[in-house]
Structure 1
């Protein structure tokens, strides 16, 4: 969990929305900073993911809903906070989603974007970047959509176009337990390539890539990439 209290210190009670929530990882960070009596909604386009999130975390105060980030059914100005965490690079038309997030955010409410970046990372973090890039290739090969992680300045260039005021940025690290989860995923990289790429022309190259990443992980360790936190108030 990322601790956001120092970056969002004065919030009004109300609704907060986490777009592309998956199992609610970032939604829990929002719950930590929202005043007592607020409601936290986690929105995801995948029905099965929402079902799993409800089974896994439905008793933890997050309301999981199915919905498309580019076409939300909420009224204008519904939310005090609208967030998107480590999802921007998964969205083909991210301008449409960002525009919709601003629509459902009330004037004076906070837009929160959290996105890992690729440059300026230490050696264990470079292992994570390589692993994430391989996962992106496999996702695309399987019919999904995922870009490789952007550089920090590329993310800032996208977000600086938004009509926000009082913009704040910070660089954050996840708690160490997230690194342990990366180690578990690393151990299954070859298995993941075999599952998603077997029989395809890219298979051998991807298999070698997975093995090299595992070797690097054994040599240097793995640490989650530093994330850019970008916050601004809607005008």
Structure 2
């Protein structure tokens, strides 16, 4: 025979769970609408083709005179610019997407937890954009110039547009994530996974790790490897400095009281 108390317990928890699912659905729909609206605007102006031209500009500027990018697939001239449009739309709408995620989880957080999460969301977004911008405006020009400088005169460069898109997305992701190093350091320190002292002691090992990561994820040239490894090392130092300040200003009330008593 079923326990009536157990049935009542299940009935009492069903509605809140369904309400959370409904809210999650609404937040996802709003995020998708934001991406779709930005995509529609970009499709109208400047258009998928113009977006690809903007993305390809650093490479085209360093190709030999008269050389262009090529499409080896029949549908590449349509699909590749469309993928770039969707990628650009998502990046531009990312603040709205992250706000919807924040609005969904915020009601379940304490005040000190809100002080912890919101600054991290904003700073991680900005750092990712800075990493992508650094890659596009500085790294690409240096890398393509370096590569073309080694190309034999008998070779006419004609890169494939799909291969270039794959290269660009890999580099954007690598530099965007690399610039998240301070956020990772802050979170690890704030959660108590590692102490500030251990982070400082790990400094020399992280330098080696940064160069290993740069060697793996970037093209086999010194310029791009240094352009990724050096910012990672500098951002690690920034993360240690920021973690000390962040921990001080985001303590829970009981943590502050304990510290005062001791």
TM norm structure 1: 0.28
Normalized per residue, the structure richer in helix is 2
The higher radius of gyration belongs to 2
Normalized per residue, the structure richer in strand is 1
TM norm structure 2: 0.26
